[in-house]
Amino acid sequence: MIASATGDAFKSLSALEQENLLLHLVKIIRTLQASGASPQQRMCVSCRYFQPNVYAGSKEPYHCAFVNAPFGQPALRIDCGEYEPADASSQAAAWKIFNRGAA
């Protein structure tokens, strides 16, 4: 019942609102992880396969090296089964590029 109500609430948002919510959620999770307040999530921005803003100005600016394909903000994952953590310096560099290019 709760999952259904949550799904209905998200469906009431426009596609742009859903995309913005996802982007803000990624930023919040990343900030919580960096402060040690949250465990590591298997999300794109900290994955070794994530390449941010490879196709700048495109609707699909990111690249996933695991599937060798571009993707856009609506496809950002918070929990990916193929996730492999990038090393700390690669994560920091990807986040800096991602954050700069994100709306």
How far the first Cα of the chain sits from its last, in Å, is 33
- From first to last of its 103 residues, the chain has per-residue pLDDT tens of 555 787 788 889 899 999 899 999 999 999 998 899 988 899 999 999 999 999 989 999 999 999 999 999 999 999 999 999 999 999 999 999 998 876 4
Residue 81, number of CB atoms within 10 A of its CB: 6
Evaluate whether 91 touches 102 at the Cβ level (below 8 Å). Answer: no
- Residue spans of the domains in the chain: they are 2-101
